[in-house]
Amino acid sequence: MKHSTHSRRMRFGAAATALAAASIALGTAPASAVTGDPVAGTTYSYSAQVVVGDHDRGCSAALVDPEWLLTAASCFADDPAASLAVPAGKPKLHTTATIGRTDLSGTAGAVRDVVQLVPRTDRDVVLARLNRPVTNVAPVALAGSAPSAGEKLQFAGYGRTKTEWAPLALHSGTLSVDAAAATTAAVTGQDGAAACMGDTGGPVVRTTGAGPELAALTSQSYQGGCFGIDPAETRTGGVVARVDDLGSWVTSTVGASRITDFNCDGTEDVAVADPKATVGGVTGAGLVRIVYGGGKGTDEINQDLDWVPGAGEKDDWFGEAIATVDYNEDGCTDLVVGTPSEDLGGAADAGMVDILYGAPAGLGTGTVKNAHFEQGSGTGSIKAGTSEAGDRMGQALAAGTTAAGDPYLVIGVPGESVGTVAGAGDVYYVHDGTSVAIDQDTPGVPGGVEAGDAFGSAIAADANHIAVSAPHDAIGTDVDAGNLQVFDQKLTSDGFPTPLFGLDQDDDAVSGASEPGDLFGASLAMVPYRTSSEAAATDSVLVAGSPGEDLTIDGVNKADAGMVNTFDLTAAGSFTQLNWYSQGPGDDDVSGTSEAGDHFGQNVAAVNTAPREVGTADTLKMAVGSPDEAIGTTVSAGAISTFSLLGTPGAHDKWIESGDGDGIPGASAAKQYLGVSLHYTGTALQVGMPYGPSTYGAVYSLPMSNVTAGGATAAVTAYEPGKGGLPAAGERFGYVVR
């Protein structure tokens, strides 16, 4: 059909829908009308109703992944008739989706918030991320071929019918394909069926022997026969937006690692801690600097701001530990800040932690600005605790979401006394408005509390598991040998993560042997891992550094050379060691040579660049810092070694030092401690250099190719005080980066 020749143009079905009318009295049974028939049972259960704002607009959608809908961009466009352009990131208006509820008066399926939009620029299509997965509705698969002329497709939607403005039932009808174009197809409704306002974005499916396949989304229609449309309009034709050719885009988008996005605009942001910085003339008060992506400026977060708890005091070291998570599930990343050196009520270094909430205008600009955690206040076990000298609450942090989508925070308190046992240490697991305390006397946790264990010194966690280390734990008579405990994210009836097992180097299944000063578990990292026998990433790979490990190299003992162990933590609750890593002798296939005092493994980082896919040597990566590595005669210049987490250590390793062309500028210099600050994103290794050579410190974001064996060298992004909008001030900029 040549739509431009008609006096009445087609309408976007979602445009100007007044869903406030949904509150009027409706018939007890939905009307069967020329605009479609009510859907019975679970047919089209992957369909969703989307409500934008305070019933400003309504449209339909299809669940294509447990966390994602495909729907029409026109549902979110300011004026769909003028432009389909939709900004990426958080929707402008609060948006809810009801998925898998073909009868809206029932309770089936799930209700979620839409927290992120990823639009296409070439058609009326947008991917919409939900605040947490839908686990009781099966997503629909995308079709693999274009609609063809004469083909009959089925559509479904929650829009108007012939007699109802806001029906409670999903309805469906048949469309016949007139012709397909590059991104659209012209269709005509059969037997009087037509897409109405509110149907926009709804699924248009091809039925096959294997089940339904999503071929397109409803986009525009003449809306003949729809409630409120001129009775003279009888045409049931329209245009659908093709999605059959979007499989790779959908897969890459939904499977990508989540980015840090404090202002929820779809562009990656960076937080850089400078805990030794002077604030308001107070030395060592500490701050965190934010660089908003897309050239949207920088920000400084410190305790002298009226929305940040506490006040800048000498040697607080605000930002000594930081983490990120969308804790309130609004689509904006939240910044978790640990201040373990905070004095509270006369208790030196008692420590505290804050969640600082992201918002569209930046951190701290939303209605709710923070959540504060200090012992003796709040809820749960944290409220039951007491802030005491040397607790160092917040020295270690881990944050994320479980496989079910529940946000959590794990707070290390390594100086905590457990009963009368000084410095035994514990951690707080914070979720769902409460907290529980875990120590080595918690039921099910192996071992026992001992003075100075410092349980909670390092923490790593992902959607499946949690690991907590006690690097100063004595194994037998070997002081500071170290151990760690592993937990399942599935909670017990008491609300605790489920204890699984402990690990130390006296275990026959762990490389090495427990020796004094090994500090096994002093650094930890963890990533989700999908094995070839699993349908999802239900395992985890755990990385544990032992920077105090002594190694015998060519018959000579090298004290504190350091090593790293990696483990596969299974969904069944067991573990298998994958590998152990060291620099080894100079003539092996791993770059570098283990030398006394290198402290290889003092810091570790890991990433899975394709967490939905079966893990490979290319997608699972690890970086190991050796901050006291001597380069030639230059002491403590530092170095970084990168490896694959799968396969033999030497097959994929790469050596990185200052000035070697991988992106760290300048020449190696004494006491720069390269490798002391490492963090992976989904696309880069962020390397903090708080000890120079830059006057105030710096961070270099090295593209993944730069830190992968055989990869090409690409341009590096540098964050340095005095450049790019960052003030020329600081003491340890880059101490931690997220």
SS3 call for 383: helix
Closest CA to 610 of 487, 515, 704, 516: 704
The answer to whether the beta carbons of residues 727 and 277 sit under 8 Å apart is no
CA 690 to chain centre: 26
| HEC assignment per residue over 552-581 | EECCEEECCCCEEEEEEECCCCCEEEEEEE
- Would the pLDDT of 6 be above 70? no
The pLDDT of residue 38 is 76
- Would the pLDDT of 15 be above 70? no
Q: Exposed, middle or buried by CB within 10 Å (0-12, 13-18, 19+), for 683?
A: middle
- The DSSP secondary-structure symbol of 292 reads -
Q: Where do the domains of the chain lie, and which CATH numbers do they carry?
A: 3-254 (2.40.10.10), 259-443 (2.130.10.130), 457-738 (2.130.10.130)
Two tokens at 636? 């403590």
Mean of all residue pLDDT scores within the chain:
93
pLDDT confidence bin for 35, thresholds 50/70/90: low
Average pLDDT on 122-131 reads: 98
Task: Give the percent of the chain with pLDDT over 70.
Answer: 95
Closest CA to 583 of 547, 608, 616: 547
- Give Cβ neighbours of residue 268 (< 8 Å, ≥ 6 apart): 259, 260, 261, 293, 681
Closest CA to 707 of 729, 733, 725, 680: 680
Average pLDDT on 520-526 reads: 98
Q: Return the amino acid letter for 138.
A: A
The pLDDT of residue 11 is 56
Two tokens at 185? 């197809």
The pLDDT of residue 732 is 98
The pLDDT of residue 314 is 97
- Would the pLDDT of 21 be above 60? no
The pLDDT of residue 36 is 66
- Would the pLDDT of 31 be above 70? no
- Give Cβ neighbours of residue 555 (< 8 Å, ≥ 6 apart): none
Cα–Cα dist 221/224, whole Å: 8
How many other C-beta atoms lie within 10 A of the C-beta of residue 246?
A: 22
- Would the pLDDT of 33 be above 70? no
The pLDDT of residue 421 is 97
Average pLDDT on 262-276 reads: 98
Starting at the earlier edge strand, list the strands of the sheet with 654-656: 603-608, 620-626, 639-644, 654-656
The pLDDT of residue 40 is 66
Q: Which residues pair with 336 in a beta bridge?
A: 323, 355
- The DSSP secondary-structure symbol of 6 reads S
- Please work out, in degrees rounded to the nearest 5, the angle formed at the alpha carbon of residue 291 by the alpha carbons of 289 and 294: 170
Cα–Cα dist 509/485, whole Å: 15
- Please work out, in degrees rounded to the nearest 5, the angle formed at the alpha carbon of residue 148 by the alpha carbons of 143 and 154: 60
Least confident segment among 33-37, 232-236, 314-318, 534-538: 33-37
Two tokens at 99? 């998925």
The pLDDT of residue 209 is 86
Closest CA to 552 of 592, 596, 496: 596
The pLDDT of residue 380 is 97
**The length of the chain, given as a count of residues:** 738
Average pLDDT on 642-659 reads: 95
- Would the pLDDT of 17 be above 50? no
- Would the pLDDT of 508 be above 80? yes
Cα–Cα dist 257/463, whole Å: 13
Write out the E strands in 254-329. Answer: 270-274, 287-291, 298-301, 321-325
More confident call, 26 vs 281: 281
- Give Cβ neighbours of residue 365 (< 8 Å, ≥ 6 apart): 359
Residue-wise DSSP of 39-106: PPTTTTTTEEEEEETTTTEEEEEEEEETTEEEE-GGGT-S-TTT-----SBS-SS-EEEEES-SBTTS
More confident call, 4 vs 206: 206
Q: What is the pTM of this model?
A: 0.94
Least confident segment among 24-28, 76-80, 244-248, 543-547: 24-28
- Would the pLDDT of 22 be above 90? no
Q: Which residues pair with 50 in a beta bridge?
A: 59, 97
SS3 call for 451: coil
The pLDDT of residue 587 is 85
Average pLDDT on 716-728 reads: 97
Cα–Cα dist 604/640, whole Å: 10
The answer to whether the beta carbons of residues 390 and 340 sit under 8 Å apart is no
Cα–Cα dist 692/423, whole Å: 33
pLDDT confidence bin for 24, thresholds 50/70/90: very low
- Would the pLDDT of 18 be above 60? no
The string over 537-555, giving b where at least 16 C-beta atoms fall within 10 Å of a residue's C-beta and e elsewhere, is bbbbbbbbbbbbbbbebee
The pLDDT of residue 41 is 65
Cα–Cα dist 531/465, whole Å: 16
Cα–Cα dist 650/644, whole Å: 9
The string over 50-61, giving b where at least 16 C-beta atoms fall within 10 Å of a residue's C-beta and e elsewhere, is bbbeeebbbbbb
pLDDT confidence bin for 1, thresholds 50/70/90: very low
- Helix, strand and coil content of the chain, in percent to the nearest 5, comes to 5, 35, 60
The answer to whether the beta carbons of residues 314 and 285 sit under 8 Å apart is yes
- Please work out, in degrees rounded to the nearest 5, the angle formed at the alpha carbon of residue 628 by the alpha carbons of 622 and 631: 95
- How distant, in Å, are the alpha carbons of 147, 206, 212, 213 from that of 209? 17, 10, 8, 10
Q: Exposed, middle or buried by CB within 10 Å (0-12, 13-18, 19+), for 267?
A: middle
- Would the pLDDT of 210 be above 90? no
pLDDT confidence bin for 8, thresholds 50/70/90: very low
Write out the E strands in 287-365. Answer: 287-291, 298-301, 321-325, 334-339, 352-356
- How distant, in Å, are the alpha carbons of 164, 199, 213, 240, 638 from that of 182? 35, 22, 19, 11, 54
The pLDDT of residue 317 is 98
Q: What would you measure as the largest C-alpha separation in the chain, in angstroms?
A: 95
The pLDDT of residue 407 is 98
Residue with tokens 């959540």: 371
